[in-house]
Amino acid sequence: MKLTRRELALGTIAAATIPAQARAEAEPIRIGWLAALTGPLASPSIGFDRGVRFATDEINAKGGINGRKIELVVRDTQGDPTKAVNATQEVISRFKVHAIWGPTNSGELLATTPIMARAKVPSLVAGVVNSLIDPTKYPNAFRVTPSNIQWDAAVRNYTIEKVKAKKVAVVADATGYGTAALADSVAGFKAANIEVVYSATIDPAQPDVSPDILRMKNAGADAIVAWTVSSGLAARLMNARAEAGWDVPIVGHPAMGTGEIGKLVTKPANWDKVYIIGYKSCSFDDAGKLPARTQAFVDAAKGKFPLNDTSLWWVVSGVDSIRLIAEAVEKTGSSDADKIIGYWNTLTNWPGLYGTYSFSTTEHNGFHTDEIVMQRANSQHDGAFALAPGYA
Amino acid sequence: MTRVVPYLALFGAALLLPLFSNDYWAVIGARAAVYWILVGGLNLVVGFGGQLAIGYVALLTLGAYTASVMVARYDLNPFLSYGAAGVVGAIAGVIVGLPALRLRTFYFAMTTLGFATIVTQVALAWQSVTGGGIGLSGPALPAPFDSQWGFYLLAVALAALVTRLSANVAHSRFGRSLVAIRDAEVAAEAVGIAKPRLLATVFLFSGACAGVAGGLFATLQSYITPEAFSFDLSVTFFIAILVGGRGSILGPLIGNIILTLLPEFAAPLVAWSTFLYAALLLAIVLAMPGGIAALLDFRNRRPLPANRSIVPQPLRIAGHGTARGAIELKNVVLAFGGVRAIDGLDMTIRPGEVHGLIGPNGSGKTTTLNVISGYYAPQQGEAFLGTTPLPHGAPQARAALGIARTFQTPRLIGEASVLDNVMIGATIEGRASFLESVLCLPRHRADEKRLKARAMDALATVGLDALADVRADRLQHSELRFMEIARGLILNPAFILLDEPAAGLSGEEIKRLGELIKAMAQQGIGVLLVEHHADLIFDICDRVTVLNLGRELAAGTPADIRAHKEVVSAYLGA
Amino acid sequence: MLAAILAAGLAVGATYALIGITYNLMFSASRVMSFTAGQLGMAGGVLGALFIARLGLPVIPGFILALAGCALIGVVTEYVAVRPVLKALDQHLYVLSTLGLALMIQQFTAIEWSTEPQPFPRLLGLSTTGPWDEKFWLPILACAVAVGGLEYLYRHTLIGRAFLAIAEDNFAARALGLPERNLRIASFALAGVVGGLAGFASGELLLAFFANGAMLNFLGFVPVALGGLGNNRGAVIGGLALGLFQQAANFIVGGVFASVAVFTVFILVLLLRPQGLFGAPVARRV
């Protein structure tokens, strides 16, 4: 449901005439959902969106929170930072939302986070860039996904401990995210005394990456660490690895597990030995079973929306975010920003579908590191993946 | 004064906006204002100068990064950082713009795209300064500009300033010259407009605007990463100008507001927004090349009187004070490929005389005129003014020597008024520098007053003063011929070269033209008259040269020529 | 590794050259440089993937349909963006009309096809790998066939000579009674076929991706700038040189700097020799 300005204005006039308590109960809980629903960066948002709507419908079907319905104010930002800034101000000033979820791309988030902080709107952050979270500068922002430090560590630890690589090659796509991730990753390996024998950014449009692969191979790399959201580049790396008759593992970004890759690899086998960042909650164990909580959700969601064309963690992350907001309102009996933020600051081991979260006034990176695992990139089923070797 | 009413209304409405709305509209309004600061400057390049700079987001990027880096890394005052962004933008504007001097439209458009790519890639790669993909914070302003409305008012004030400054440029000889090189480059050269200098200056100005806009953009975004500077944004700027209409300021201003606001009102269409902009561009080009400005141009929709006639009043011509003797051609030879267009021609055009140049098609008449006016360099021989040789291949140097000309096909600036078309003729006599014009200082105002008065005199002389405010492309062909003569006369020329001025004129008009030409000669102007109308030539010329195959067939007074057997048998059909 | 750089460089270079020839074909018929040239290359790849991979047609009919689709886009370009502005006095309008149409094609593809690169079918299914893989030599073969075919057309067929006459002098050709308008439409259709061929032949290499249009627009223009406007042989040399330079730069200095290098070289070449390395300066016009 979307609010027009007129309805909003009428609502405000009506609200002024009834007592504060009653007003708070009647007023819906408005959540701004800033999604990149179209454009080249749309896939994660489409997944998140399913979870967001699932959780909203579920809560509203039960009569809402303290009698208050949840109302989503959705804006498509197309992943464009300028549109994201406009949309953020719109949901804050025009729709007076009580909390915001999104936007979902780092370039957008970097721009919108200070704006939300200025307006003191409780916001849940789904972005890995480290600098997005700073409880002093942005006391209103809480991260519900891992940070890049956590991602980076997960990949590095797996590469060192499970792949047992001594020499690594690190590559990234030549985009904003890629160049930043490459620098962090290389620094991390060097700090761990692992030799980085090759590091480069690659233009996602580069038609053939076999020379890059050959140079990695000649340098004696034991593993390729890849940070790319470009399915074209990821598939080319895998194809070139196979053509070079080389079989070191590729470890890295979750985008290497999307269904698009499956269409782009020349042979299905090229997708083997590719390990991506994943989450315990969305991993099949050796018996092919999901954790019970996740399985219950999947069963409930089946038939409501497709699960196979998106990552499950995006969906469950969307569910968790809505539930986090709803619970804060329910427990504090108020949708005031201070109350919501205050409640989130007290959360310890909050059990979500996607992960377990803990926040405090000084730590807004709430996602537990031990929830992060590595998965086999080519094992997607219902949006979940099988654990990578070494976790048994 | 009615000219400023729409601007006052727009900016007045902008000042009232805070009373009626919330912070969201402050952001949208500030965005429109910031974009206008760039588009207003770019408008001079694209809308007036006709240079298709489609990659101007490069300058926005540079400005944004300069301001942000200055504040974040060197702790500069944010307002000073905008200044720094303006300086960097100005320098980069010249670098991005200079290829326009050598490259044609499509090529130039491509180089600006190339610059846009390079700037983004450098921003990505130069991590230690720009933050690479992670980017950096934009300059944060102190109170009272730290609130959305505070920033909005600052941006609107600067946008109003840019509107004023760009209007000053547009209504100066620089603005008219830009339109002239866009629509009539050859004529622009003939009146002495130096394209390189003019374009460099304008690129400097528009680059500075874009740089400052970049700094403000960084503050508005609060944080910048390379993704924020998309090609779509660049195209939007460009399309705003074309939707608004070329050669207008109000049109692009409205176009910019519409394009900034449209996506906010059409949220369901957001995925198709770039597609719709592109369709809009195509539709404008095909159906309404004048854009919004043409829609708003009510004055030029009133019909012109149908039975109007051109009545010259030749008494108002002023002679050229400092005639430096005659124009003399000595043994001039010019060949194209194997064909000798001019083959050893000697000729003298004296001040105060009408010199007719006749001959069959292809005999070298217009070529001779082009040698004198500097478009062609003679391969042998020389053209002199008095005793000094006329510089080769430098048509833009002729106006300063008091040599004016008209063209076989009138070279008009169709979208400009008749008055502007004539004022172009005296471009070199403007004394105010570009900076004085931008700031509308006294010397600029004196220039405008003086040139306007002289243009009205020149128009009255040729009998077109009643049409001064009409758009030139609405004139009849014969009127355009007289307009071109007025453009020459405003220079108070020592010589005027007329290339078939009677072509397409009625008998009555030819008679009046003849009187006008005679009056010009009486004021001491040397006239070279290339013509086919033998009657006109013999009526008014003091001397006549007859050309054939690039050589002089006969020369002398009209009486001599009439008696010349070969000429009579070949051309005059006795 | 050198072999890999050579193979990829020549393959993308041949693709750029074909797009350059597409520019030339449209230019010689109309004096118009069209932003749709690169989009034709993109469309060749996308339509090929659509007909063969998505709709399951065999390779030959899929190939013919893809080229026919591109020829249609070429003709539409002529109708919508070129013919209406040819009459206009203003020389600049074609830049704007073709830019508008090109952006429309690109956005339409992005929304209706996909914003992710989609697989292009394996055409011959040969089991070669490495530098001798079909994805590398198909574009080179396509370029050779196109250049040879055009030479044959120009030298040995009546319509080819008519094309040349139009390119040489539009007005004179019309005065001779040549059907100038029909020849122009035919040229744009032919340009569509050549552009489509570029995209189709390089499909396995560049994938069926909407953003290829903008990329090919730019990199396909470089051979024109290098080789001189209207000079197809110059475009081939320029294209291959660009492809090799780009791939070498990719591997020597890496992604970010490689594109800076390519664009810098492009701008410098244009500034130093606006008429191209093999072109002659144009005479002036008073």
Can you list the alpha helix ranges (DSSP code H) found in B324-429? 365-372, 418-423
The H or E element spanning position A241 is: helix A231-243
Residues in chain C whose Cβ is within 8 Å of chain B: 33, 80-81, 84-85, 88-93, 95-97, 99-104, 107-108, 111, 214, 218, 221, 225, 256-257, 259-260, 263-264, 266-267, 270-271, 274, 284-286
Domains of chain A and CATH, by start: 5-147+298-369 (3.40.50.2300), 149-285+373-386 (3.40.50.2300)
* Confidence (pLDDT) at A187: 94
A103 touches chain B (CB under 8 A): no
Does the beta-carbon distance from B121 to C259 stay under 8 Å? yes
* CA B49 vs CA A127, A357, B174, B425: distances in Å: 45, 60, 10, 17
A210 contacts in C (CB within 8 Å)? 4, 8, 130
Does the beta-carbon distance from C254 to A264 stay under 8 Å? no
Instruction: Band the pLDDT of A25: cuts 50, 70, 90.
Output: low
B272 contacts in C (CB within 8 Å)? 107, 111
Q: How many CB atoms lie within 10 A of CB C209?
A: 25
Q: Which residue of B has its CA nearest to A177?
A: B133
Average pLDDT over residues B80-98: 95
B372 touches chain A (CB under 8 A): no
Interface predicted TM-score (ipTM): 0.90
Q: Which of A215, A202, A272 is nearest to A239 (CA)?
A: A272
Average pLDDT over residues B55-84: 96
In this model, does residue A9 exceed pLDDT 80?
Answer: no
* Cβ-based neighbours of A125, under 8 Å, separated by 6 or more: A109, A113, A132, A133, A141, A142, A143, A144, A145
* Confidence (pLDDT) at B89: 97
A177 contacts in C (CB within 8 Å)? none
The tens digit of pLDDT for each residue in A167-184 reads 999 999 888 888 889 999
Helix/strand/coil for C157: coil
Does the beta-carbon distance from C104 to B279 stay under 8 Å? yes
Q: Among positive and negative, which fits the CA dihedral A311, A313, A319, A322? A: negative
Q: Which of A259, A283, A282, A286 is nearest to A271 (CA)?
A: A259
Q: Which residue has the higher pLDDT, A89 or B270?
A: A89
Q: Which residue of B has its CA nearest to C85?
A: B286
Q: Which residue of B has its CA nearest to C115?
A: B271
* Confidence (pLDDT) at A16: 42
Does the beta-carbon distance from C267 to B186 stay under 8 Å? no
Q: Which residue has the higher pLDDT, C281 or B361?
A: B361
B235 contacts in C (CB within 8 Å)? 99, 103
Q: Which residue of A has its CA nearest to C259?
A: A203
Q: Which of B263, B255, B238 is nearest to B291 (CA)?
A: B255
Q: Among positive and negative, which fits the CA dihedral C51, C53, C54, C57? A: positive
Q: Which residue of C has its CA nearest to A208?
A: C8
* Confidence (pLDDT) at A13: 39
C100 contacts in B (CB within 8 Å)? 278-282, 285
C285 contacts in B (CB within 8 Å)? 186
The tens digit of pLDDT for each residue in B118-175 reads 999 899 888 889 988 889 999 999 989 989 999 999 999 999 999 999 999 999 999 9
* Confidence (pLDDT) at A391: 80
* Confidence (pLDDT) at C119: 92
Chains that touch C (3 or more CB pairs under 8 A): A, B
Chains that touch A (3 or more CB pairs under 8 A): B, C
Are B93 and B210 in contact, with CB atoms under 8 Å apart?
yes
Does the beta-carbon distance from B231 to C33 stay under 8 Å? no
Smallest Cβ–Cβ distance between A214 and the set C4, C255, C256 belongs to C4
Does the beta-carbon distance from A205 to C250 stay under 8 Å? no
The tens digit of pLDDT for each residue in B329-376 reads 999 998 887 788 888 889 999 998 999 998 888 888 889 999 999 988
Least reliable range by pLDDT among B52-56, B336-340, B380-384, B517-521? B336-340
* Confidence (pLDDT) at B222: 92
Q: Which of A151, A81, A150, A145 is nearest to A321 (CA)?
A: A145
Does the beta-carbon distance from A203 to C207 stay under 8 Å? no
B23 touches chain A (CB under 8 A): yes
Tokens for B419? Answer: 């008055």
The tens digit of pLDDT for each residue in A326-365 reads 999 999 999 999 999 999 999 999 999 999 999 999 999 9
Helix/strand/coil for A32: strand
* Confidence (pLDDT) at B125: 86
A93 contacts in B (CB within 8 Å)? 22-26, 148
pTM of the model: 0.92
**Distance in Å from the first CA to the final CA of chain B:** 61
C279 contacts in B (CB within 8 Å)? none
Smallest Cβ–Cβ distance between C81 and the set B122, B231, B282 belongs to B282
C264 contacts in B (CB within 8 Å)? 118
The tens digit of pLDDT for each residue in B224-234 reads 999 899 888 99
Smallest Cβ–Cβ distance between B111 and the set C89, C257, C267 belongs to C267
Instruction: Band the pLDDT of A392: cuts 50, 70, 90.
Output: low
Residue ranges per structural domain of chain B? 2-299, 320-572
Residues 101-160 of C with CB under 8 A from A: 110-111, 115-119, 122, 129-130, 133, 136
Q: Please give the Cα distance from B343 to B332 (Å, whole number).
A: 7
Average pLDDT over residues A250-276: 92
Domains of chain C and CATH, by start: 2-115+134-272 (1.10.3470)
| DSSP label of B378 | -
Instruction: Band the pLDDT of B321: cuts 50, 70, 90.
Output: low
B132 touches chain A (CB under 8 A): yes
Radius of gyration of chain C (CA): 18
Q: Which residue of C has its CA nearest to A203?
A: C255
* Confidence (pLDDT) at A3: 42
A82 contacts in B (CB within 8 Å)? 31, 221, 228, 233
Average pLDDT over residues B80-96: 96
* Cβ-based neighbours of B531, under 8 Å, separated by 6 or more: B356, B357, B358, B498, B500, B501, B502, B537
Question: Which residue matches tokens 């503050």?
Answer: B219
Q: Which residue of B has its CA nearest to C106?
A: B275
The tens digit of pLDDT for each residue in A111-161 reads 999 999 999 999 999 988 888 999 999 999 999 999 999 999 999 999 999
Give the fold, CATH level 3, of B2-299: ABC transporter involved in vitamin B12 uptake, BtuC (1.10.3470)
- Note the CATH number of domain B320-572: 3.40.50.300
* Confidence (pLDDT) at B323: 60
Residues in chain B whose Cβ is within 8 Å of chain C: 50, 52, 54, 98-99, 102-107, 109-111, 113-115, 117-118, 121-122, 124-125, 183, 186, 231, 235, 242, 271-272, 274-275, 277-282, 285-286, 289, 370, 375-376, 414
Does the beta-carbon distance from C4 to A266 stay under 8 Å? no
The tens digit of pLDDT for each residue in A198-214 reads 999 888 888 888 888 98
The tens digit of pLDDT for each residue in C131-140 reads 888 889 999 9
Q: Please give the Cα distance from B412 to B563 (Å, whole number).
A: 39
A74 touches chain B (CB under 8 A): no
**Minimum distance, in Å, between the CA of residue B175 and any CA atom of chain C:** 19
Q: Which residue of C has its CA nearest to B118?
A: C260
